[in-house]
Amino acid sequence: AAATAQEFLLLDKTQSPESLLDIAARKVAEKWPFQRVEERFERIPEPVQRRIIYWSFPRSEREICMYSSFSTGAEDPAAVPGGPTA
């Protein structure tokens, strides 16, 4: 029990626990796209919106690279608006 209390004291001094807002926003962002949240609920306080959006973005470098290199089918110059056929 003394070791657990000591760990708690060290944790308290080095980092603070997540806020309920952050925990809830992270859980929402894990389950639903933000667009669906906006469509479902009429009024979402701005601080809540900001935290859901924050947690909606990928955290790891691998995920960022994966999402930033998604193919949209726009590699074909004819598919790009204002491309060679325009």
pLDDT for the residue 50 = 94
- 79 Cβ partners below 8 Å, 6+ apart? 73
Mean of pLDDT values over 63-74? 69
Mean of pLDDT over the chain: 77
Cβ distance 84 to 77 under 8 Å? yes
pLDDT for the residue 19 = 94
Q: CB count, 10 Å around CB of 11?
A: 11
Distance in angstroms (rounded) separating the CA atoms of residues 55 and 48: 11
